[in-house]
Amino acid sequence: MTLNDSIRELVITGLEGVKLSTLNTFAKEYGAMIYSLYQEKVISDRDIDTALEKVIYEQAAKDYGRMTNEKRTHPLHADHVERTDCLAYALEKEAFSVEEVQQIPFDHGQNQITFVARYRNENLLRELREKLFQQEEELTNK
């Protein structure tokens, strides 16, 4: 394993552990470094997308847990979760089992297919990448 491979693994592992709600803070602290490693081709588009996809799935799992919490006194419907776009992404990518999908309380006559059609953001990964690199790009453009 080369030094670049070790650095790549460390950066990707760190990015995978970020919560979506703290991505801006992470970007301010580490975005310039990650952008530099990206420019030097130490980390690739695929590396970043794979890590950000895990962040999306973690957010979707968090929202799923809130919707299906048996202690809730009233239902939290899928269209009222923190990040409907992440939930739609995870549903579209079949990150949930059939049994888990059956537990999701859809509202307004929706189901998995109509929910994904309504809340899907086909640019989600690109937007998160831009958010990750935004701090560096702002500094570069000054």
* Cα 96 from chain centroid (whole Å): 15
User: How much is the pTM?
Assistant: 0.89
Quick one: which H or E segment has residue 56? helix 45-67
Shortest CA distance to 7 belongs to which of 38, 39, 42, 54? 42
Cβ partners under 8 Å of residue 105, min gap 6: 67, 68, 75, 76, 77, 78
Residue 139 pLDDT: 47
3-state secondary structure of 55: helix
Helix 124-140 to helix 45-67 angle, to the nearest 10 degrees?
120
For the chain, give the mean pLDDT: 93
Q: pLDDT tens digits, residue range 54-109?
A: 999 999 999 999 999 988 888 899 999 999 999 999 999 999 999 999 999 999 99
DSSP label at residue 80: G
Q: What is the CA radius of gyration of the chain?
A: 17
